[in-house]
Structure 1
Amino acid sequence: MQPESDSNTDLIYGLEDRPAPIPAFFAALQHVLASFVGIITPPLVIGSVLGLGAHLPYLISMALMVSGVGTFIQARRPFGIGAGMICLQGTSFAFLGAVLSAGFLVKSRGGSPEDILAMIFGVCFFGAFVQIVLSRMLGQMRRVITPLVTGIVITLIGVSLIKVGVTDLGGGFNAPDFGTPGNLGLGALVLLTIIVLNRSSRPWVRLSAIIIGLAVGSIAAWFTGKLVPQPLPDLPLISLPIPFKFGFAFDWTAFIPVALIYVISTIETVGDLTANSMLSREPIEGPRYLARLKGGVLGDGASCMIAATFSAFPNTTFAQNNGVIQMTGVASRYVGLYIGVVLFALGLFPLLGAVLQQIPKPVLGGATLVMFGSVAAAGVRILAQSPLDRRSMLIMAASFGVGLGIAAQPTLLHEMPKLVQNLFDSAITSGGLTAIILNLVLPEEKSELVAAEGVTE
Structure 2
Amino acid sequence: MKRADHPVDQLPPFGQTAALGLQHVLAMYAGAVAVPLIVGGALGMSKADIGYLINADLLVSGVATLIQCLGFWRFGARLPLMQGCTFAAVTPMVLIGKSEGITAIYGAVIVSGVVAVLLAPLWGRLLRFFPPLVTGTVITIIGLALIPVSVNWAAGGVGSPSFGAPRNLALALGVLLLVLVVQRFAPPALSRISVLVAIVAGTVVAIPLGFTDFSGVSDAPVFGISTPFHFGLPSFDVAAVVAMVVVMLVTMTETTGDILAVGEMAGRPVDGKRLAGGLRADGLSTVLGGVFNTFPYTAFGQNAGLVGLTKVYSRFVVAAGGGILVILGLFPILGEVVARVPAPVLGGAGIVMFGTVAAIGVKMLAKVAFDNNGNLMVVAVSLGIGLIPTAVPTIYEHFPTWFRTVMESGISAGAVSAVVLNLLFNHFRGKKKAAGS
The TM-score normalised by the length of structure 2 is 0.93
Residues 22 and 321, structure 2, Cα contact 8 Å, conserved in 1: yes
- The letter of the residue matching 2:361 is G
From 198, 201, 204, the counterpart of 1:219: 204
3-state DSSP of counterpart to 1:316? strand
Matched residue, 1:455:
none
Deviations 1:324-368 (A, max 9, x none): 112222111122331221110000001100111111110111111
Matched residue, 1:94:
88
Question: Is residue 331 from structure 1 mapped to residue 331 from structure 2 by the alignment?
Answer: no
- The letter of the residue matching 2:374 is R
CA–CA separation in structure 1 for the residues paired with 2:119 and 2:133: 19
Question: Is residue 435 from structure 1 mapped to residue 421 from structure 2 by the alignment?
Answer: no
Residues 257 and 423, structure 1, Cα contact 8 Å, conserved in 2: no
**CA drift at 1:35:** 0.8
Q: Quickly say closer, same or farther: Cα 1:451–1:137, change in 2 above 3 A.
A: farther
Identity of aligned residues (%): 35
Residues 183 and 191, structure 2, Cα contact 8 Å, conserved in 1: yes
Root-mean-square deviation over aligned CA pairs: 2.1
Which consecutive unaligned segments of at least 5 residues does structure 2 have? none
Residues 57 and 235, structure 1, Cα contact 8 Å, conserved in 2: no
Structural mapping, 1:10-409, within 5 Å: 14-53=7-46, 54-106=48-100, 116-200=101-185, 202-232=187-217, 234-246=219-231, 247-284=233-270, 289-388=271-370, 389-409=372-392
3-state DSSP of counterpart to 1:137? helix
CA–CA separation in structure 1 for the residues paired with 2:394 and 2:277: 37
Deviations 1:211-235 (A, max 9, x none): 1101221122123222233412744
Deviations 1:74-100 (A, max 9, x none): 121111310111111111111111211
**CA drift at 1:208:** 2.2
Residues 40 and 63, structure 1, Cα contact 8 Å, conserved in 2: yes
Deviations 1:17-38 (A, max 9, x none): 1111111101101001101111
CA–CA separation in structure 1 for the residues paired with 2:102 and 2:162: 34
3-state DSSP of counterpart to 2:312? coil
CA–CA separation in structure 1 for the residues paired with 2:380 and 2:355: 20
Deviations 1:427-451 (A, max 9, x none): 1232222223223334536432998
CA–CA separation in structure 1 for the residues paired with 2:394 and 2:304: 31
Q: Quickly say closer, same or farther: Cα 1:337–1:411, change in 2 above 3 A.
A: closer
Residues 75 and 280, structure 2, Cα contact 8 Å, conserved in 1: yes
- The letter of the residue matching 1:294 is A
CA–CA separation in structure 1 for the residues paired with 2:125 and 2:13: 41
CA–CA separation in structure 2 for the residues paired with 1:71 and 1:257: 25
Residues 135 and 295, structure 1, Cα contact 8 Å, conserved in 2: yes
The TM-score normalised by the length of structure 1 is 0.89
CA–CA separation in structure 2 for the residues paired with 1:408 and 1:144: 28
> What is the aligned length?
432
CA–CA separation in structure 1 for the residues paired with 2:218 and 2:98: 29
Q: Quickly say closer, same or farther: Cα 1:345–1:281, change in 2 above 3 A.
A: same
Moved more, 130-139 or 205-214: 130-139
**CA drift at 1:266:** 1.0
**CA drift at 1:262:** 0.9
- The letter of the residue matching 1:72 is L
Q: Quickly say closer, same or farther: Cα 1:411–1:340, change in 2 above 3 A.
A: closer
